[in-house]
Amino acid sequence: MTRPQHAPLVQFPVVDDSLQIGGVPLARLAARVGQTPFYAYDRGALSARVAELRRHLPPAIALHYAMKANPMPAVVQHMAGLVDGIDVASGGELRVALDTGVAPCDISFAGPGKGDAELASAVAAGVVLNLESAAEMERVAAIGARLGVRPQVAVRVNPDFELKSSGMKMGGGPKQFGVDAELVPALLARLGALPLAFHGFHIFSGSQNLKAAALREAHEKTFALALALAPHAPAPLRTLNIGGGFGIPYFPGEERLDLAAVGAGLAEMLPAVHAALPGARVVVELGRYLVGEAGVYVSRVIERKESRGRVYLVTDGGLHHHLSASGNFGQVIRKNYPVVIGNRVRGGERETASVVGPLCTPLDLLGDQMELALAGPGDLVAVLQSGAYGLSASPGGFLGHPAAAEVLVGPRAGRSGAAS
Ligand SMILES: *Cc1c(COP(=O)(O)O)cnc(C)c1O
């Protein structure tokens, strides 16, 4: 029996047995960052991913970046130049998105429990608020009246189905997200009586899905739901955000999403949608699919330790910077992210070792008994597939270790000059 392997990863070339990020060998990049641990994101890989999506999705589909996947301002700025809009989930993200210069009407703000101050800045900025409840709708209307601005709103619908084989279900059944589909007609009637500008619907059913057939089914159900709700709307739909949920392979045995099949499915469905909802722009919002594979988390081996026959590479990085690689960000069963010794990818000798961090908890595990090049103090451990839900999704204050650095590397398209 062969053990399941990680899906082949080709976004970072290996030259002279060293990982290259943004065209720079990893050890050189570590020297230029000036510290470990750090996250590095590759501009070229981000651009290539958007281009791949544009190739496979129908041209009528608008592409939004859900920036909670990676809110580093330089990354958001780069993405802003490539996508059609940005989805934010807090007032803090809203400020970063507005700083990019993306038109406010192409920024949408979703999330339960939006505070009055966040709502007021969103209304003042003119971004589209995805309403999560009837109570929020009333608050938005009151804030708009106080500011003398007509708020731009969409209704987030909690669908009556879920995205099958999804890593994280975000719709179906009782949820804190969105308005239950069966309550939407009454809410829309009230919306029409308030001084609000109606944009459309936001229907997000799940996340981290690697199965094109499951996404196809979700898209069919999403369009059917939108078409059923549209006659109740106070104005024609201008946008229909069908969520995203495109997954990336993290763990051994996982296979890449068949993007061509997803695109073909959407191409089949779109004509009927456009006929029923002329003027509605269909939006797909993606987080990890856009940025997850373009990032790497790099830590340095402090010590190579053996304990009762097992090898531990003790590094300066850990779950305080990368909770999801440790298996503690919503995973039910812990599995290994792809990990390599970045400055010695193949190596001479190889061995089975675990990669741990400096925290006083057995949860601080970045790689559990993985086959790696033989490594020792000073070597660099690279955790791949780390561009999404990394630093900002980790408990940085836990145990008081230094923060990780973040860099965006690689040349801008069409410019010459130093690679980093
Ligand atoms: C988190 C989130 C996303 C992004 O999810 P990914 O799995 O990173 O693509 C998209 N839309 C909404 C509403 C979200 O909350």
- Tell me the average pLDDT across 152-165: 89
Q: Are 303 and 351 within one domain?
A: yes
Ligand 1, atom 6: closest residue by C-alpha: 287
Residue 168: is its pLDDT beyond 90?
Answer: no
Ligand 1 atom with minimal separation from the 247 CA: 7
Q: Quick one: pLDDT at residue 169?
A: 65
Rounded average pLDDT over 99-125:
98
Query: Do 325 and 344 lie in a common domain?
Result: yes
Model confidence band, residue 296 (pLDDT cutoffs 50, 70, 90):
very high
Give nearest CA residue, ligand 1 atom 4. Answer: 287
pLDDT band at 170; cut points 50, 70, 90:
low
pLDDT of residue 162: 75
Three-state secondary structure of the chain? CCCCCCCCCCCCCEECCEEEECCEEHHHHHHHHCCCCEEEEEHHHHHHHHHHHHHHCCCCCEEEEEHHHCCCHHHHHHHHCCCCEEEECCHHHHHHHHHCCCCHHHEEECCCCCCHHHHHHHHHHCCEEEECCHHHHHHHHHHHHHHCCCCEEEEEEECCCCCCCEEEECCCCCCCCCEEHHHHHHHHHHHHHCCCEEEEEECCCEEEECCHHHHHHHHHHHHHHHHHHHHHCCCCCCEEECCCCECCCCCCCCCCCCHHHHHHHHHHHHHHHHHHCCCCEEEEEECHHHHHHHEEEEEEEEEEEEECCEEEEEECCCCCCCHHHHCCCCCCCCCCCCEEECCCCCCCCEEEEEEECCCCCCCCEEEEEEEEECCCCCCEEEECCCCCCCHHHCCCCHHHCCCCEEEEECCCCCCCCCCC
What's this model's pTM, rounded to 2 decimal places? 0.96
Both 236 and 306 in a single domain? no
Which of 1, 275, 332, 360 does the annotation list as catalytic?
Answer: 360
Residue identifier of the C-alpha nearest atom 14 of ligand 1: 66
Q: Is the pLDDT of residue 215 over 70?
A: yes
- The answer on pLDDT for 415 being more than 90 is no
What pLDDT does 419 receive?
47
53, 79, 155, 170: which to mutate for ligand 1, most atoms within 8 A of CB? 170
Going by CA atoms, what residue is nearest to atom 13 of ligand 1? 204
Confidence at 338, pLDDT banded by 50, 70, 90: very high
pLDDT band at 311 (very low <50, low <70, confident <90, very high): very high
CATH of the domain at 78: 3.20.20.10
Provide the domain count of the chain.
2
Structural domain span for residue 334 = 14-41+293-409
Is 105 annotated as catalytic?
no
Query: Residue 389 CA: which ligand 1 atom is closest?
Result: 8
Ligand 1 pocket test: which of 70, 285, 291, 385 has the largest number of ligand atoms within 8 Å of its C-beta? Answer: 285
Residues 171 and 297 in one domain: no
Which residue's CA lies nearest to atom 7 of ligand 1? 207
Query: pLDDT digits over 263-282, tens only?
Result: 999 999 999 999 999 999 99
Pocket of ligand 1 (CB under 6 A): 66, 68-69, 87, 89, 110, 204, 207-208, 243-244, 285-289, 388
Asked whether residue 211 falls in the same domain as residue 102, the answer is yes
pLDDT (tens digit per residue) in 65-94:
999 999 999 999 999 999 999 999 999 999
**Residue 60 CA to ligand 1 centre (angstroms):** 21
Do both 173 and 271 map to the same domain? yes
Percentage, residues of the chain above pLDDT 90 = 92
343, part of any domain: yes
Question: Do 261 and 378 belong to one domain?
Answer: no
Give the atom of ligand 1 at the shortest distance from the alpha carbon of 207: 7
Q: Is residue 420 part of a domain?
A: no
Distance 230 CA to ligand 1 centre (A): 23
Residue 111 lies in a domain: yes
CATH number of the domain that 372 lies in?
2.40.37.10
pLDDT in tens, 385-401: 999 999 999 999 999 99
57 inside domain? no
State residue 306's pLDDT score: 98
Does 418 reside within a domain? no
Residue 338 Cα, ligand 1 centroid: separation in angstroms?
22
Q: Tell whether the model's pLDDT for residue 420 goes beyond 50.
A: no
